[in-house]
Structure 1
Amino acid sequence: MAYQALYRVFRPQRFADMVGQEHVTKTLQSALLQHKISHAYLFSGPRGTGKTSAAKIFAKAVNCEQTPAAEPCNECPACLGITNGTVPDVLEIDAASNNRVDEIRDIREKVKFAPTSVRYKVYIIDEVHMLSIGAFNALLKTLEEPPKHVIFILATTEPHKIPATIISRCQRFDFRRIPLPAIVSRLKYVASAQGVEASDEALSAIARAADGGMRDALSLLDQAISFSDGKLRLDDVLAMTGAASFAALSSFIDAIHRKDTAAVLQQLETMMAQGKDPNRLIEDLILYYRDLLLYKTAPHVEGAIQIAVVDEAFTSLSETIPVSDLYEAIESLNKSQQEMKWTNHPRLLLEVALVKLCHPSAAAPSLSASELEPLVKRIETLEAELRRLKEQPPAPPSAAAPVKKPSKPTKTGGYKAPVSRIYELLKQATHEDLALVKGCWADVLDTLKRQHKVSHAALLQESEPVAASASAFVLKFKYEIHCKMATDPTSSVKENVEAILFELTNRRFEMVAIPEGEWGKIREEFIRNKDAKTEKSEEDPLIAEAKRLFGEELIEIKE
């Protein structure tokens, strides 16, 4: 028989074999014992955490000849057939390649027929978020009221892509990332079963690289066994995964603390020559600094240390490096890590970040006493002048002195609001048009999400239609940056919103964006001008003619 990967050989066949998902297995076992079996389940969580394995175990348990039982017996024909994949009533479907409406309609037609060899028909739909909207709609009614002999188990790594109407019809179980000690314990068992001698440090390094996924951990163990010469050691795992050793990290951080830039860059060059990944290296540095910080501030917290080994070098660093330096290093490296995700030269940014840590910004130079004396005298003079002005009575206002209107501060940069266009729109605005746009606004955001334009919907989340005419509407944004991004011609947000509104209302509306602060000023000024025009139109024509002939300052109006 051909060689099988370890994650296939050691796939859990009972709930007791599953690691780190006790909150799921305990609930499912209680449901089996109490005969409270639902018609639909949703298993969501990161990859390699046991979703499909739990679905297969549950399918065996409900069809086992020993039922009711908390575990399948794995000995009866039903259990053996489901394990081998020879029972036609338990179907595992990959939604990524069967995501069309036709496939789901085929399932909907076949669920009517009773199972042929076991008690329940079980449909396990993996990566269910890959189904199209039409396929979800086709599945909806069947998922809500299937025949009594059918159970649906949906598995996904991205539950946010599943419609709420589907989620509400299922019992949802969230699978968590498997804790590091649980992965290490399982790896020890697998290595022992395979007759491989493996050190605890090597298995811990594999578990950290797996990032909470048991399948990834077993795949890495399989690869590491092939890489080693029969004895799995830490150096083999580090060479295979591209991670740095604890001794190298402690030496690296010690050189940074000593501000020895040459030693830091030399060690970085050595690591890069060994094929280390800059993104992985900066992540290891951040986690090592984090372990130093927690060990220094809370040394007695169990399980606080994540990647480091508490040896003599680690203890010495924790005693030598002050907490403020640890904070600064974590913040600086974290910022550089974010920037490295969007660059083609991650090593360059890593080098800059390390040089910054070796050369922190210099403190402000202190002034001598002779340099401070003139400043002190100047401050005392200004304080005396300020007291004199406060004690002096205010001068009466001069009638001849013209009152100068305060000039509006000029804006530099930022978003330039289309003030004249908004004035024209406000002159033609009606409450009915605004009510129409407001009534459709929630549908506009939902349509953007369904069209997989989540970034556009998020950008418009803090916006609100505040005025509308027959052909345009004003959209107020809480933040100016969002307003600028929404009106950027390269973003196509404006065109998408206008197109969706046309589909919903069958009317063409132009979107005019404005920040919240500017909208308040424009609206207030528009209302003030409108009231002034109204008062002017209601003025007595005789008084208006007298003002024109003799001047407003020479006329006194008496009631």
Structure 2
Amino acid sequence: MYTALYRRFRPSNFSEVVGQQHVVRTLKNQVITGNLAHAYLFCGTRGTGKTSIARIFAKAVNCSNNAKGDPCGICDNCKAIDDATFMDIYEIDAASNNSVDNIRDLRDNVIYPPAMGNYKVYIIDEVHMLSTSAFNAFLKTLEEPPAHAIFILATTDPQKIPATILSRCQRFDFRRISDGDMMAHLRSIADRVGVKVDDMALNLIVSKADGAVRDALSLLDKCISYCGDTITHEDALEVLGALDDDILLRFSRAVLDYNVAEALKIVEDVYGAGRDAAQFLDDVIRHFRNLLMARMVGTGLEEYAGHLEDEIRRQIMGYSENRLIRCIEILNSSANQIKWAVLPKVILEVAVVRLCQPDIDNDINGLLDRIERLEKQATFSKGQSEGQVATISQTVSGDKAGLENGKKAMETRSVEKASDAGAGTKKVADVKGLPDIRDVWSALLDGVKREKMALYVFMKNATPRYENGALIVEVDKSIFRDALKKAENVAFIENLLKKITGIEMAFRPELKKDDESQKAEKEMVNELISFFGKDKVQIIKE
């Protein structure tokens, strides 16, 4: 009878465990020193090795030759455990044995000493499924068990376990297996069973497994059943129902070009081929995530074939970080809705329209997307009229040169104006050598316009002033103020101010007040000054 890969290659000792070295090392040291706890709690997502390590640990503590912390596999106890004839290891499924009566039976039997080994080990899987009464009945036994008893509780949902149980256990959190460890493990198993798997197919299996070894082995088993001795990337895509990279890039290109007709056609073709809407969203979300990671930190392209590299890099340069984040947020929201939708295809199509038509979204991200679209159209029109397209590196170097030249010119003008006693221009007070605030503002707008057109739109009609070491900018709309107050925008503008003025200057956006409120505020301040005295009143701007 055929045995599934995840059962056939289940680890039999600690050295065969994939990942989880923080758990393995601790348990081995406890076996070597004999400092065993009476209760353990293994927490983690499915397929990360909780039950496997619990069995290895139960085997190790009952092994006759465990001097190195690992079960020897050759003593009588180890052989009995392998043959499932050992009487002192109990595996209980709490999902189906969750009543108080089941715990009472356990409590009545635990008092008897082990029949064959050194310890009676109780492995309770999915322990969070126990009822409240069962937990209460288990509490006293768990707190003061017999010296020969060890409890190992395993769960994927530790927050459902009462705090009184958690406090009595030594807790271990199992992590998702890294992609590198998973790849090496799958490659080793494929070699042992005589199957050739190309790297792209393994990458796809690993990405679908999401850090769970059991899921990865089940998917590999499925691919072997379909493909035989050789598994290609195309075969893996067909078996797993995943989208081809070419389709993903065609879709992201359509979104990048705001081509809603092409994007909807791709959805129709995918749906017509029998693909699941939820699976389509999962693949597209992961694709946009890879584009974002590649743009931000240069990683995430390992999953794609080499011949697609040029198109991927063109798309990375075409998308801004803001737009990629907006795409991911829209798709993720639709993925949550589609689980309960009567017509999943409709949810998917609405998401596609929102991706390609930012005009229908009134939030800040939709506004920034529309501005970015207009900016691209203006840049394209300008390039057509002038017959040239500037490269990104030339644009950046030109911006830096312009900022430096503007800074030098303003420094010269500030010195000239400082020597002119009759000049009527209002200077920024208390900062020696700082140029006129109007010159600073003009240069700042020029720099922002060259590098971030969206911010320029928010700032172009604002009113600047200098106060207590900060450039305060009053804007008409709260949506403009909120966008300018984002940490990355404040840091960008403050860095630009430092280049222009040569000094550190804070940037603070505020909402403009109407004339009536300003007048009332001024009258109130004057009354306070006249009553308390000017030296007693301090005005603090928030």
Q: Give the TM-score of the pair, scaled to structure 1.
A: 0.63
1:24-39 alignment runs, 5 A limit? 24-39=23-38
Choose from 334, 337, 340 the match for 2:335: 337
SS of 1:151 mapped into structure 2: strand
Choose from 304, 311, 314 the match for 1:313: 311
1:148-547 alignment runs, 5 A limit? 148-299=147-298, 304-305=300-301, 307-308=303-304, 311-361=309-359
Give the superposition deviation at 1:384.
13
Give the superposition deviation at 1:154.
0.9
**1:323 and 1:38, CA in 2 relative to 1: closer, same or farther beyond 3 A?**
closer
2:6 is matched with: 7
1:45 is matched with: 44
1:111-126 alignment runs, 5 A limit? 111-126=110-125
The 2-side partners of 1:150 and 1:46 are apart by: 26
| 1:505-557 deviations in Å (ceiling 9; x for gaps) | xxxxxxxxxxxxxxxxxxxxxxxxxxxxxxxxxxxxxxxxxxxxxxxxxxxxx
Gaps of 5+ in 1: 366-382, 394-559
Give the superposition deviation at 1:309.
5.2
SS of 2:45 mapped into structure 1: coil
The 2-side partners of 1:196 and 1:243 are apart by: 21
Whether contact under 8 Å (2:291, 2:316) holds in the other structure is yes
Calculate the aligned-residue CA RMSD, in Å: 2.8
Gaps of 5+ in 2: 361-369, 375-512, 524-542
Give the superposition deviation at 1:13.
0.8
| 1:270-291 deviations in Å (ceiling 9; x for gaps) | 2112222111212221221121
SS of 1:361 mapped into structure 2: helix
Return the letter of the residue paired with 2:156: T
Whether contact under 8 Å (2:195, 2:228) holds in the other structure is no
1:407 is matched with: none
Whether contact under 8 Å (1:41, 1:171) holds in the other structure is yes
Whether contact under 8 Å (1:286, 1:333) holds in the other structure is yes
Whether contact under 8 Å (1:291, 1:308) holds in the other structure is no
The 2-side partners of 1:385 and 1:132 are apart by: 66
Return the letter of the residue paired with 2:350: V
The 2-side partners of 1:139 and 1:325 are apart by: 53
| 1:184-241 deviations in Å (ceiling 9; x for gaps) | 2111111111101111111111111112211111111111110114211122222222
1:417 is matched with: none
**1:307 and 1:340, CA in 2 relative to 1: closer, same or farther beyond 3 A?**
farther
Give the superposition deviation at 1:174.
1.0
How many positions carry a matched residue from both structures? Answer: 373
Give the superposition deviation at 1:324.
3.5
Return the letter of the residue paired with 1:285: V
**1:355 and 1:40, CA in 2 relative to 1: closer, same or farther beyond 3 A?**
same
Whether contact under 8 Å (1:286, 1:334) holds in the other structure is yes
1:135 is matched with: 134
- Say yes or no: does 1:86 pair with 2:123: no
SS of 2:172 mapped into structure 1: strand
SS of 1:96 mapped into structure 2: coil
The 2-side partners of 1:236 and 1:385 are apart by: 70
1:554 is matched with: none
The 2-side partners of 1:184 and 1:164 are apart by: 38
Whether contact under 8 Å (1:59, 1:122) holds in the other structure is yes
The 1-side partners of 2:515 and 2:138 are apart by: 82
Whether contact under 8 Å (2:94, 2:129) holds in the other structure is yes
The 1-side partners of 2:271 and 2:350 are apart by: 15
**1:74 and 1:280, CA in 2 relative to 1: closer, same or farther beyond 3 A?**
same
Whether contact under 8 Å (1:206, 1:217) holds in the other structure is yes
The 2-side partners of 1:244 and 1:148 are apart by: 56
The 2-side partners of 1:8 and 1:384 are apart by: 73
The 1-side partners of 2:514 and 2:116 are apart by: 101
Whether contact under 8 Å (1:199, 1:232) holds in the other structure is yes
1:478 is matched with: none
Give the superposition deviation at 1:328.
2.8
| 1:484-518 deviations in Å (ceiling 9; x for gaps) | xxxxxxxxxxxxxxxxxxxxxxxxxxxxxxxxxxx
The 2-side partners of 1:201 and 1:156 are apart by: 33
The 2-side partners of 1:324 and 1:116 are apart by: 65
The 2-side partners of 1:327 and 1:342 are apart by: 24
SS of 2:85 mapped into structure 1: coil
Q: Which deviates the most, 338-347 or 211-220?
A: 338-347
Identical pairs, percent: 45
